[in-house]
Structure 1
Amino acid sequence: MAGDCPPYNDFAGWVHDPHNQRVYMFGGLRPGDESETPASDFYCYNTTTMKWENLTNALTFREPYKSPYSKTELKREKRHLPALSHPGCTLWRYEGHSFIFLFGGYDAASDGASSKVVIINLKLREWWYEDRLGRTNPRIAPSIVAIGNKVYIFGGYKELEGDPQACYSYSIAEHRPEDPISPWAWEVRDTPYSGHLPSDFVVGQAVAVYGGKKILLAPGRLNHTDERRLHFSKKTLFYFRIDLKAFHEILDPAGDPLPQDIGWYSIFELKQLPLTASAISTQADITKKRGRPPKNPTPPSQVPSPQLRASVSSSSSDSVVICAWQPRPGTKSEDKLFEPEIYHFSLTPDDRLDCLKIIQKVCDLNHNFEGFMVVGERMHLLGSYSDENSSQTDSDSDSDDESDATWNIHLDIPFNCRRE
């Protein structure tokens, strides 16, 4: 991967803009920072050129609701985004343009959970607080997804440690451009879960499916100190039907078993075939040394991007891909050594799950991959390469300086799709 590669941040926000072939990484905790202070890093990855760009110092702050003749608007200044970890973020489209909608997270300035909304205009590289939306409960690590003119927010929690004060509720923000006073309003604010969704269900990720008619909700953890493994099943996967604002269970899929014993995962919708990504998210392993990649004796510049070929047969455009980090083959869950496995979940006409069985092949490469994204018809695992002494053991490397670790390698996985 070329360009100015971003630091290997944990608990950052990731957003994929397939309309402009870009991926954005925001905030998080920098590797090697023992104070665990959130950063305001903002990086852009061009999925066509495979090049990173540092936009941290490139954004202009504005106050869109003030007079255009105000001091702030007449003399706009470059300003960093707020320093956040565990933010909720999603791509929002308006009149053919791409924006990032940020909500919540752990705010370094207030040393607590945030309830603020930040919007980033990606074309103009401007950002602002959406103050006139009004406040709702602050949430660290909420799961959010934009569909049309609405943004759906699920779950999250209020405390990083101790009692998480989990939010077992959801909110819906609606964009109303015809309203000159308040173009954003809460259609639903902090409404408790109901129906088939357990009142204490912890949402980990949310993704739009069925053309935006439903949202698939996957399980999560109470907070970043919760070390339990995650398990997918009928009792931990749910749909939210947006027209009825109702929750219901998924059907038991045919095919391979749902992933179990998960350290962390990424999930996103496949809108059509050939495959086109609609979102990206990555979550760091809460049980590992933060940001510490394993040592690899071969620098990425000397290794052509390794390829794994995965074949998916599907007659439906309604499907999702799950990349789940599960115990490395030959190890136990308590060893806390994870490798990625990929699952294709077809939703129509019949629910079916197919495991692509790449985990051993990835393990054999002896690289550290902790992120996942899709570019056109190819999947990419993202990771970090360290050129330090590769002969050190894991215990030796615990004391290594991690501060220079970056997201700088990828594994290319072509996704052969064919219609039945």
Structure 2
Amino acid sequence: MVGRDVAGRPVASRVEARLIVVDDQLFIFGGKTSAGEQLESNESYSVASFANYHWTWDVRDEPYPAHVPALGFCCDAVAIQDGDTQKILLTVGCTDSDETLDLTSRSFVLFDIGLRSFTSQFADSGKFPGTVTWYGISNLSGCLKSDPASTSAVICTFHADSAQGPELYVYSLQGGCKSLGLRKRIAATEGTFELFAVVGAKMYLFGWTEDKWDLLVEIPQRWVSA
């Protein structure tokens, strides 16, 4: 979708923003104001809706409320179901030139799709990942034996030291963050990974080895359920 194809006054340009589609709505969060070495982040969001074969801007560059932490650029988002309510769980990205990121209890924000309101989350129990180079977050439903209506997500963290290997965490609004302790098992595959994806009830890591440049590893359910 190109901005000029959306009805209404155009929105500001963004680089490395987070886009997420829920039903017939497109949500755009954060990003940088320009490309290159410029590190100024766009602390706002926009929403476009699709109806009658046309896209229309419903929200244009609305600043985040004061209580929302800076989400920066390369932030992440995942749609979750909170009971009967659809929401988006947002996680912070980069706001400066630091090469690593520490996720804490204050790194998570909940966006109510219907009310278009933000709630900061402070579930501080458990262990949160630190010195993260980049990470991916996905909906937990179907991956674990959990309440499908719960506000839970799975986070895969990657680190600059490839010997460390990725690790998986479960985050929930009620229970905080919990490591699944899979780093050694993932390292045993002898792959170098840089991408994580959830498809249905299956979780995958994408990467390579010295002999194979298109490595795909499925994380067995028994690893997760143990």
Within the candidate set 71, 75, 79, 1:201 is matched to 71
Code of the aligned partner of 2:102: H
The answer to whether the 8 Å contact 1:251/1:351 transfers is no
Paired residue type of 1:320: A
**Matching residue within 357, 362, 380 for 2:181:** 357
Partner of 2:40: 165
The match for 1:322 among 155, 171, 179 is 155
Question: 1:148, CA displacement in angstroms?
Answer: 2.1
Alignment of 1:41-80 (within 5 A): none
Instruction: Kindly provide the CA deviation profile for residues 103-130 of structure 1, in whole angstroms up to 9, marking residues without a partner as x.
Output: xxxxxxxxxxxxx34xxxxxxxxxxx73
Displacement of 1:384 in angstroms is 2.2
Report Cα offsets for 1:77-98 as digits up to 9, x if no partner: xxxxxxxxxxxxxxxxxxxxxx
Are residues 145 and 313 of structure 1, via their aligned partners in 2, closer, same or farther at CA, if it must alter by over 3 Å?
same
Shift, 1:234, TM fit: 2.5
Relative to its length, the structure with more strand (as a share) is: 2
Aligned-partner SS, 2:105:
coil
Where does residue 136 of structure 2 map in the other structure?
A: 266
| Residue in structure 2 matching 1:340, options 166, 190, 197 | 166
CA distance in 2, matches of 1:353, 1:151: 28
Measure, in 2, the Cα distance between the counterparts of 1:244 and 1:379: 31
The whole-number CA distance in structure 1 between the counterparts of 2:33 and 2:170 is: 33
Question: Is contact 1:157–1:222 with CA below 8 Å preserved after alignment?
Answer: no
For residues 147 and 6 of structure 2, the distance between their equivalents in structure 1, rounded to whole angstroms, comes to 45
Aligned to 2:198: 374
Count of residue pairs the alignment pairs up? 220
**Counterparts of 1:362 and 1:148 in 2: how far apart (Å)?**
34
The Cα of 1:175 is off from its aligned counterpart by 1.4
C-alpha distance in 2 between matches for 1:377 and 1:215: 20
How much identity, in percent, do the aligned residues show? 27
Matched with 1:414 is 220
Aligned mate of 2:106, from 222, 226, 235: 235
SS in 2 for 1:228: coil
- Amino acid across the alignment from 1:215: I
Deviations 1:8-58 (A, max 9, x none): xxxxxxxxxxxxxxxxxxxxxxxxxxxxxxxxxxxxxxxxxxxxxxxxxxx
Q: How does 1:27-46 map to 2 (within 5 A)?
A: none
Q: Is the 8 A contact 1:195 1:248 kept in 2?
A: no
TM-score (norm 1): 0.47
1:133 Cα deviation from its structure 2 partner: 5.6
Task: Supply the AA of the counterpart residue of 1:339.
Answer: G
SS at match of 2:185: helix
- Partner deviation per Cα, 1:210-269 (whole Å, 9 max, x = no partner): 25622111111247xx34311212322111122332222113153x31111111101011
2 CA distance for matches of 1:257 and 1:369?
Answer: 22
> Which structure has the larger Rg over C-alpha atoms?
1
**Unpaired segments ≥5 residues, structure 1:** 1-101, 103-115, 118-128, 276-311, 329-335, 388-404
Q: How much has 1:134 moved relative to structure 2?
A: 4.9
